[in-house]
Structure 1
Amino acid sequence: MTHAEVGEPEKDELRFGFIKLTDMAPIAVAYEKGYFEDEGLYVTVEAQANWKVLLDGVIDGKLDGAHMLAGQPLAATIGFGTEAHIVTPFSMDLNGNGITVSNEIWEMMKEHIPMEGGKPVHPIKADYLKPVVDKFRSEGKPFKMGMVFPVSTHNYELRYWLAAGGIHPGYYAPHKGHTSGLIDAEAQLSVTPPPQMPATLEAGTIYGYCVGEPWNQQAVFKGIGVPVITDYEIWKNNPEKVFGMTKGFTEKYPNTTIRVVKALLRAAKWLDENNNANRPEAVKILSQPEYVGGDYDVIANSMTGTFEYEKGDKREVPDFNVFFRYFATYPYYSDAVWYLTQMRRWGQISEKKSDDWYFETAKKVYRPDIYATAAKELIADGIMDASDFPDFTSESGFRPPQTEFLDDVTYDGKQPNAYLEKLTIGLKDETL
């Protein structure tokens, strides 16, 4: 493929949305480093109030694309919530979330956690939270936790962690109008926008939450809560955010779309280059008010490869935020399938679907074809190397079976129904 194959952008003035989280970094870096301009694109980047406003903005064309929860394009395309055909040609990052509990809950959990040298043994499982939840329920008090959106990774990760510890996080039954996910719930999960998590925890409205950074580390800095586990420990190198656009946009402006992906790929590579050597500069960018805003030190805590659990218990987590390593940017069908299995597990997808349905849906939304075109252009331009990417001639879009889950259940994206059968808490064949 020669460089000339991708023509001039059909639309060169673009507006992208994001939520104030550190994993929006590829968009900020592509803007600040001039990678969008190198592609002839004049981009405006705007923080959005919440995930629903952001999604609506992309659907109605106010935004040309956005930093999205991986579940959003999938849910929109299958019509859970707002219906619209959204695609993703670019996966934004791996890992990056944590689960935090209030100081009070931490003290109650602590008596059940094994210790070594005066420090808790990690990973901290929800098994140690179960006696606390049971105590609350026996006293007639609901145990409330926060996550950021019904189709967010955070919702599925928090549910996964709770269920692995024998705590039922509740079912959805949209066909009956039950969209709060509280059916049979032993822990009640509700939506709280990320920047409001620490204040909601401090007010006692929720006892814990699952969120992206910097909002777990913020709880440590404020002394109001303790992060107990990162999503890296729940599912090592799990896919996190994606860049979403409407299918209509990608069809109307194919060259623009490819050029956007090229700029984002360069930004992702820059973020991980030389063992994260550029991260301090990235933190400086992100701490500006128009991006994430906030204290440099809070953002740096996780972005530079450490994570602080209990105050003073700082541990090395070099892969807490991954933007390019391990082919993080490639839109794998198997990643999409995992999200769909969780939607089915908790009833957001009301009835059992065939394995083929999972594969077809993944292929409607995840677009490795657009990604590969952008990558080949960068290789042809001499900006990137073929080794930076999967082998496009043989790549199936399915990662090999993944074994590194907290509960030791192996996930094989080629067998979604067989995977659901292995999970002890969750729907299998039944419709609620």
Structure 2
Amino acid sequence: MNWKKPITSSLKSLSLSIALVCAGTYIAHAETVGEPEKEELKFGFIKLTDMAPIAIAYENGYFEDEGLYVTIEAQANWKVLLNGVIDGTLDGAHMLAGQPIAATMGYGTKAHIITPFSMDLNGNAITVSNDIWKKMKPNIPKMADGRPVHPIKADSLKPVIESLASEGKPFKMGMVFPVSTHNYELRYWLAAGGIHPGYYAPHKGDNSGQIDAQALLSVTPPPQMPSTMEAGTIHGYCVGEPWNQQAVFKGIGVPVVTDYEIWKNNPEKVFGITAAFAEKYPNTTIRLTRALIRAAKWLDDNSNANRPAAVKILSQSNYVGADYDVIANSMTGTFEYEKGDKRAVPDFNVFFRYNATYPYYSDAIWYLTQMRRWGQISDDKSDQWYKDLAAKVYRPDIYAKAAQSLIDDKLIPANEFPDFTKENGFKAPQQHFIDDIVYDGNQPNAYLEKFKLGLKKGDKL
């Protein structure tokens, strides 16, 4: 558990301000933002490196600068974390991007959750066991030095799965939650290689996600992924760091593809709060968003120059709790695939550049298209339905207020944010997917029609 004393309005006297300046402490007054309505806050997270903005906002005093007294607490799993935000045990949390979308839609649970802040881009990978890797390797093209050509596509895995099936053995993989980025990225990669990852049929009471599946996907909490694979319960998994690099360090598996290679600069986690919290505590919401934006910028400043310091913080047991070297392997701009095959991947973790923190409607809509593709949304929906639901959950209006106040306070220059006078919440059509299919968030139904595998217009299980 972490906590720090809040800086309240009573501490803003001239004498104390002078004393704090002399002591080298900076207080962001944020004169364009009112005082926080709620100062004592409790935030939850899962032990993954992409919770870093919360840890850095705490450790660097950015929450304090906003007059916020914050307690940070690791949660057992994503379900416990979501329930904590819904029941008010937690004021906010590091969340899977699909969680606030699914909850607001009513899939799994029903609660109006919003996000004013996207926590990062990229950061995940797909790892397979040594045995599966040995069988995949002959199917993968090689470079002149003998190393595999990346990105490695699931085409190389398909004959391995078919061989296991001929022996009556199912192929099993882990992902972290049914509405996680990891589930959709894993499904996307498998399907792009012609491997069916299975359908959901909630209208029939079947939430296994394994209908017609050639690869059986199931939930495993992130820190348990390596040990579960080592035990032989699963053949591989999709998870965030440091749990792919942990497999390399332990010598039990090989990360075969990163999510950066599946979808370049894909959105990952978000910071989730209830809509009721944002409505009741608007100043607090803007202030916590300000602190998180500052933390994200610090993490990416000067070409990731602060990453070693961030890794040291994250390696503490109260945060991620993995060895420094394991976390650093991906957080500092490299990624190790097969043991000894370390390659430069400077954008494996992105926290601020490329407008990573802005909550784009089109990001939310992509998640919704994958929910429809694999049956979590049972029926056809209009393009407008997708857009309306995205706007209920993703709140760029709150983000823009927080960002503008940081600009006004001269903490971050305006050119490091989107142009809010022109921004409509939709990214330009995105082309960098492993299957070369272009995604346009303005046309979700047309996008779904492009896939060979997955539900299309009129389909219902």
Q: TM-score, length-normalised on structure 1?
A: 0.99
Q: Which residue of 2 aligns with 1:276?
A: 304
C-alpha distance in 2, partners of 1:294/1:214? 7
**SS of alignment partner, residue 242 of structure 1:** strand
**1:313-359 deviation digits (Å, cap 9, x = unpaired):** 00000000000000000000000000000000000000110000000
2:460 aligned with 1:431? yes
Q: Which residue of 2 aligns with 1:104?
A: 131
- Kindly state the Cα deviation for residue 294 of structure 1 after the two structures are TM-superposed: 1.4
**SS of alignment partner, residue 244 of structure 1:** strand
Q: 2:58 aligns with which of 17, 21, 31?
A: 31
C-alpha distance in 1, partners of 2:106/2:131? 40
**SS of alignment partner, residue 137 of structure 1:** helix
Q: Which residue of 1 aligns with 2:109?
A: 82
**SS of alignment partner, residue 5 of structure 1:** coil
**Equivalent residue runs for 1:244-263 within 5 Å:** 244-263=272-291
C-alpha distance in 1, partners of 2:322/2:441? 38
Q: Which has the higher mean CA deviation after the structures are superposed, 114-123 or 368-377? A: 114-123
Q: 1:413 aligns with which of 425, 438, 441?
A: 441
C-alpha distance in 1, partners of 2:230/2:278? 43
- Kindly state the Cα deviation for residue 3 of structure 1 after the two structures are TM-superposed: 4.5
Specify every segment of 5 or more residues in structure 1 that has no aligned partner in the other structure, as ranges.
Answer: none
**SS of alignment partner, residue 11 of structure 1:** coil
**SS of alignment partner, residue 6 of structure 1:** coil
- Kindly state the Cα deviation for residue 5 of structure 1 after the two structures are TM-superposed: 3.4
Q: Which amino acid aligns with 1:331?
A: P
**SS of alignment partner, residue 47 of structure 2:** coil
C-alpha distance in 1, partners of 2:38/2:350? 30
C-alpha distance in 2, partners of 1:99/1:240? 15
C-alpha distance in 2, partners of 1:149/1:250? 26
Q: Which residue of 2 aligns with 1:43?
A: 70
2:339 aligned with 1:350? no
Q: Which amino acid aligns with 1:283?
A: V
Q: 1:54 aligns with which of 76, 81, 92?
A: 81
Q: Which residue of 2 aligns with 1:143?
A: 171
**Equivalent residue runs for 1:24-423 within 5 Å:** 24-116=51-143, 117-423=145-451
C-alpha distance in 1, partners of 2:264/2:90? 32
Q: Which residue of 2 aligns with 1:8?
A: 35
C-alpha distance in 2, partners of 1:157/1:387? 32
C-alpha distance in 2, partners of 1:359/1:118? 47
**SS of alignment partner, residue 196 of structure 2:** coil
C-alpha distance in 1, partners of 2:432/2:210? 29
- Kindly state the Cα deviation for residue 415 of structure 1 after the two structures are TM-superposed: 0.3
**1:16-62 deviation digits (Å, cap 9, x = unpaired):** 00000000000000000000000000000000000000000000000
Specify every segment of 5 or more residues in structure 2 that has no aligned partner in the other structure, as ranges.
Answer: 1-28
Q: Which amino acid aligns with 1:346?
A: W
Q: Which amino acid aligns with 1:312?
A: G
- Kindly state the Cα deviation for residue 235 of structure 1 after the two structures are TM-superposed: 0.1
**SS of alignment partner, residue 285 of structure 1:** helix
- Kindly state the Cα deviation for residue 139 of structure 1 after the two structures are TM-superposed: 1.2
C-alpha distance in 2, partners of 1:137/1:86? 41
C-alpha distance in 1, partners of 2:100/2:51? 17
C-alpha distance in 1, partners of 2:317/2:250? 19
Q: Which amino acid aligns with 2:155?
A: D
- Kindly state the Cα deviation for residue 431 of structure 1 after the two structures are TM-superposed: 1.1
C-alpha distance in 2, partners of 1:30/1:4? 20
C-alpha distance in 1, partners of 2:453/2:226? 29
Q: Which amino acid aligns with 2:330?
A: S
2:54 aligned with 1:19? no
C-alpha distance in 1, partners of 2:57/2:92? 14
**SS of alignment partner, residue 449 of structure 2:** helix
- Kindly state the Cα deviation for residue 4 of structure 1 after the two structures are TM-superposed: 3.2
Q: TM-score, length-normalised on structure 2?
A: 0.93
Q: Which amino acid aligns with 1:388?
A: E
Q: Which amino acid aligns with 1:97?
A: N
Q: Which residue of 1 aligns with 2:21?
A: none
Work out the number of aligned pairs and report it. 431
C-alpha distance in 1, partners of 2:33/2:246? 44
Name which one, 1 or 2, has greater alpha-carbon Rg.
2
Runs of at least 4 residues off by over 2 Å? 2-5
Structure 1 residues 280 and 3: alpha-carbon distance in aligned structure 2, compared to 1, 3 A threshold: closer
C-alpha distance in 1, partners of 2:165/2:378? 28
Q: Which amino acid aligns with 2:148?
A: P
